[in-house]
Every structure is written in structure tokens, then in C-alpha cells.
Amino acid sequence: MIAAIKNEIRLRKDELQNKNLKSLYFGGGTPSILSADEINSLIDEVLKYFSFDKEIEVTLEANPDDLDKSFLKALLSSPVNRLSVGTQSFFEEDLKLMNRAHNASQAESSIKRAQDFGFENLSIDLIYGSPTSSLEVWKRNLSKTIDLEIPHISSYALTVEPKTALGNWVAKGKVATPKEEEQNHEFYYMKDFLKENGFEHYEVSNFAKPGFHSKHNSAYWKYQEYLGIGPSAHSYNGNDVRSWNIANNQQYIKKLNSGLLAAETEILSQKDQFNEMIMIGLRTMWGVNIYHLKQKFSDDILYHFHKEIQHKLAEGILIIEDDHLKIPEKHWFMADGIASDLFLI
């Protein structure tokens, strides 16, 4: 797999316009199963074709149970300077429901251990709205993040996906279906609590202390180009071309090791680009840049845009500030639904 990834980096080295990288992200699964030497070897391959910005953010997604002392010590020799830890919860019942490999003790100790080794730029994932949880447990989860001095939090409502253990338990009545009203309540409690404790709510699901916004995710939300390497990875040229690699590991390796790319490509239509800019932009504190819309889209699309936003502006569900269309934060829990009402069909 590592050899195939290196081959893909070499074959796609000319796809990014900007050769000076501001973000490098190891994610999309469990990259923390790699050794520090393997991580370094992949970074070395990237550096053959790209340069690193002096303030580059190099993030590694990690499971709590992978962050032992030996791994963290070895990681110090790499350029990795940010860890995104799949904590999910600090409570045992939640973790069992989500079928996580780590336990509540590991959830907390892994973060403390990473901090002891000097990793201060930490992000954790938290899940709210679990049927095994409650508002009181959720409050304690959030308080724990403050006690641990974690500077970035990504938090999502629990969803029931088909063909998963949770989906099977819900279908058999062993676990209650998550209630949207309770998730709504927990979302707004989180928003207020984290803001009171110095966090900026900069995207619907993301909170950061000043200076700790995710450079990587912010690039997605601002429609910048990115190059995704590895099975299932997606790429975007910043304009109208999106590509994605096949998901099957063996097929991916076979193609790359024979010198062929394992990607499919699509040209995004004006409708696709418009819908995506609306969806992504309205989930952030920056909103949708109306000037950029005027520069990019036809008069027909702009007519649709201005027509569809009028009643929502009148209701206060949407606002315009500094030529940016935004959803007031009090309506962010419904951001996806509000955005979809503006889509071109």
C-alpha cells in the first residue's frame, strides 16, 4: 500500500497549481496504524515534489488506543504537528454503542499523554445525541474537553447508518432511535458552552480556540484546490474538476504498481458548483461570497439565487453582511435544510 501511495504521489505531482503546501493531512481511516518511520517515508516522498510552508499544518488522524508512549515518542521525529483524535465520548456506554475499540479511560489518557509529549495542537471528535446519553452526560463530556485544554473540537450528531451494528440494533428495537429534538438541544447547549469558554464557532460542526482553526478543513470550505492520495481519496482543482480514487485496496494497489492511476473524474456543471458553494458556504461563519457568485455564474443562476433568498432574508433565516450571505448562528442546526432550499434542481 505504501509503495502504491508513493507511486500515486509521483504520478500526480503536477496536478496542484500551488507547490508550496500549507496543509498535509493523514486521514480517511486509521493512519495511526502506520509506524512513525512509514509516516516519515510518505512525507519524504511528498517533499520530492512539493515544498512545505514554514507554518504548515501536518495532521494525523489517530485512534486513542494507538497513541501509546512509544508511538508518540517516535512521532516527535516527524513533521506531524497536529493530532486529530477519534475520541467520540469520554463515557463507556457511548463508546460501546458506537462499537469503538478504545474505552473511556483510553479516551482521556491518550490526550494527556499526547500533551505530555508536546502535542498541543489537538482536535477531538465528539458525538452528541446518542440514545445511551443524556443532556447531563453531554455537559460532562464538554466540561472534560475544557479540563483537558483541547483547542479544537469537531462534533456531530449521531446518525443511524444502514448495514452497521447500530443500524441493526435500532431495527431490532434494542436501541432507541436518536431524537432530533434532543440533538437540537444538545447542539445549542454545546454552542453556548464552548463560546463561553473561548471557542470560535467557525463551522456548524467545528469549534476552535483563536489560532487553532483547521487549515486543512478551512481550505475545503473556501473552495480551494486539494489533492487526495490513497483509496477512496477525493481531489478538487478549485474550479470545475473533481476526482476520486477507487475504494478497493487491492485494485488500487494493482493499478498504481502497474503505473496507472486509480481515479475517476467528473466535470462539475454550473448547477453542481452553485449548489456546492451554497451548501459549504452556509455552514461556515464566513458565509457565501456574493461577489464570487456574480463572477462565476450566469445571469439565470444569479436570478434564481436572488429570488430564492428573498423570503428567508425577510424571515431573518438568512442575512447579508459585507456582501456575504450567512445563516445566523441560532439557525445553524438547520443549515443543511436551509441551504438545500436554495439549490438549483
Whole-number percent of the chain with pLDDT over 90:
81
Give the residues across from 126 on adjacent strands. 88, 155
Cell representation of residue 83: 493530532
Interatomic CA distance for residues 150 and 281, integer angstroms = 26
Whole-number percent of the chain with pLDDT over 70:
94
* Alpha-carbon separation of residue 263 from 18, 61, 151 (angstroms): 21, 23, 36
3-state secondary structure of 99: coil
CATH architecture of 271-345: Orthogonal Bundle (1.10)
- Per-residue pLDDT, averaged over 237-261, amounts to 94
Domain boundaries, the chain: 18-220, 271-345
Question: Structure pTM?
Answer: 0.91
CATH code of the domain made up of 18-220? 3.30.750.200
Query: What per-residue confidence (pLDDT) applies to 166?
Result: 56
User: Dihedral sign, CA of 317, 320, 326, 328?
Assistant: negative
- Per-residue pLDDT, averaged over 60-74, amounts to 94
Q: CA 323, 327, 332 angle in degrees (round to 5)?
A: 155
DSSP line for 203-269: ETTEEE-TT---HHHHHHHTT--B---STT-EEE-SSSEEEEE-S-HHHHHHHHHTT---EEEEEPP
The residue behind cell 441551504 is 339
pLDDT bracket for residue 243 (50, 70, 90): very high
Rg (CA), the chain: 21
